[in-house]
Structure 1
């Protein structure tokens, strides 16, 4: 497969990447004490994809907590 095709296909590209971002946010939300939603499979989905295997899936893994613009505020919205 050409290098360009590898970058634009699979779960790590396009809407697949969005799905991984939303799943990571749902995984983080699942572990909050005041969670609005619980998704016990979200973290497994994130960890299964090499492109997102090192993303946070728990609030303790978010470096700046709620102040983090992606995993804190926007992640709470997605969750």
Structure 2
């Protein structure tokens, strides 16, 4: 059962824990999360243990795919 869409907005990077050697040396794109832990753009399963308030994410790190782009708060 998923949570309703009315929950507080959140942002996170993709969950790379299942990779043998995830790249942890460079900054990654940050996505806006859905209640089911997928990104709003539907491209990534997110690490919901390390989240940010979407307002605090730098524009240079924000996912620019359609679903996420529409969900980012206006500057």
TM-score w.r.t. the length of structure 2 is 0.30
**Larger C-alpha radius of gyration, 1 or 2?**
1
Using CA pairs under 8 Å that are at least 6 residues apart, name the structure with larger relative contact order, 1 or 2: 2
User: Which of the two has greater helix per residue?
Assistant: 1
TM-score, with normalisation over the residues of structure 1?
Answer: 0.29
